[in-house]
Structure 1
Amino acid sequence: MINLFKIKGQKKEEAANALNRGTVKKQSAGELRLNKDISELNLPNTTTISFPNGKDDLMNFEISIRPDEGYYFGGIFTFTFQVSPSYPHEPPKVKCKTKVYHPNIDLEGNVCLNILREDWKPVLNINTIIYGLNLLFSQPNDEDPLNHEAAAVLRENPKLFESNVRRAMSGGYVGQAFFPRCLVGSTAR
């Protein structure tokens, strides 16, 4: 019996020492899943990922997309991801930091992508969202808009839409809204 108490005492002492040395933070199920998703990312060559708060904060990160075709060719667009500890049971919150003239992204940076709302399922992952965001730049959708004015122009006058996108990306006004320059390098076509 005495040996059993001695072992129990040693275990308590070891646990106390571990607390004094600083413990490793236990990861939530969401953090574990996100870790897996990020380690398995297969980013398109138009996309980069960064961790502004350092690699210790995987739950908040940014991706930048540089479309290599379509209306948005030559621009660079940055999105923030805030991932909840209940991920993958709820989708990350995604916002566009770059002000963009786009039917599916409003002027406050909210993104209309079905998999970020009603079509989210826990089997989807960060890679799926990134491919969805890339698709918005190659195939803007005028049928489910957040920016109704841009959607109407795209639907009714694609040439004017292209001109508005170029003006916005070059740093200028479209209607009453000013857009900071987001073109990189020389992208004259």
Structure 2
Amino acid sequence: MGSRRLKKELLQMTKDPPENCSARLVGDDLFHWKASLTGPEDTPYADGTFELDIRFPVEYPFKPPSVKFDTKIYHPNISVNGQICMDILRSKWSAGITVSAVLLSVSSLMADPNPTDPFVPEIADIYRNEYEQFKETAKEWTNLYACPAKMFDEELTEPILLAVSSLMAESKSHDTEVTQRAKEWTDMYARPSLAGEKDLREPVLP
């Protein structure tokens, strides 16, 4: 039953995904999915894209999936390892709950944390007593971990371009290989939106 149910849910997710959510298989493993959530508007997580790992037991849907954040997030109900403190994944799970419903519940939890049932009590205390500090830190983590293109654009563009410029100036021969490497640096590190799926590796001098 689990396979049939998951195929049906995956088809539904593909045809009519929940707002700001998407999901896909990992390879061809029907029992292992990855999901993406866009941070809810008017929260410290806005503009971020958060990746989740979803693993289904063979007893699904009679037992809940294991859902965790791959993307680091500063939240009282989500551990540093990405584990989520949410009742529908524990005591309130039922076979009628779908992956779409789980993702919408996670999105709702991001928008409205529950500090009375925290996974990280320290963050819950800050949320209750120093809310502006909580928002600032949560936004910093979002920019750092969930908005990599923004981070590179804002923090690395100028120094990388200066380094490339210096490399070009010091290369008296303007060797073709050096010129090409400088262009690769610019595309990979200063303009990651143009780099596609390239790995963000440390540059190696020619």
Name the TM-score, length of structure 2 as normaliser.
0.67
Alignment of 1:128-143 (within 5 A): 128-143=101-116
Alignment match, 2:7: 35
Instruction: Select the structure that is richer in helix.
Output: 2
* 3-state SS of paired residue (1:40): helix
1:44 paired residue among 12, 18, 37: 18
Name the TM-score, length of structure 1 as normaliser.
0.73
**Unaligned regions of 5+ residues in structure 1, if any?**
1-28, 172-180
Alignment match, 1:92: 65
Rg comparison, structure with higher value: 1
Aligned equivalents of 2:103, 2:83: Cα separation in 1: 15
2:122 maps to amino acid: E
Aligned equivalents of 2:127, 2:143: Cα separation in 1: 19
Larger relative contact order (Cα-Cα within 8 Å, sequence gap ≥ 6): 1
1:35-85, Cα deviation, whole Å (9 max, x unpaired): 1222223423311212231xx312101101112411210111111111111
Task: Report the alpha carbon displacement of residue 165 of structure 1 after superposing the two structures with TM.
Answer: 0.6
- 8 Å CA contact 1:51–1:60 kept in 2: the answer is yes
Alignment match, 2:147: 183
Identical-pair percentage: 28
* 3-state SS of paired residue (2:105): helix
Aligned: 1:125 with 2:98: yes
Alignment match, 1:64: 36
Task: Report the alpha carbon displacement of residue 91 of structure 1 after superposing the two structures with TM.
Answer: 0.3
Residue correspondences, number: 149
- 8 Å CA contact 1:71–1:137 kept in 2: the answer is no
- 8 Å CA contact 2:48–2:142 kept in 1: the answer is yes
- 8 Å CA contact 1:37–1:126 kept in 2: the answer is yes
**Unaligned regions of 5+ residues in structure 2, if any?**
155-206
Cα RMSD after superposing both structures? 1.9
Task: Report the alpha carbon displacement of residue 184 of structure 1 after superposing the two structures with TM.
Answer: 5.3
1:138-176, Cα deviation, whole Å (9 max, x unpaired): 1121111101111111111211110111222233xxxxx
The 4+ residue runs of structure 1 with deviation greater than 6 A are none
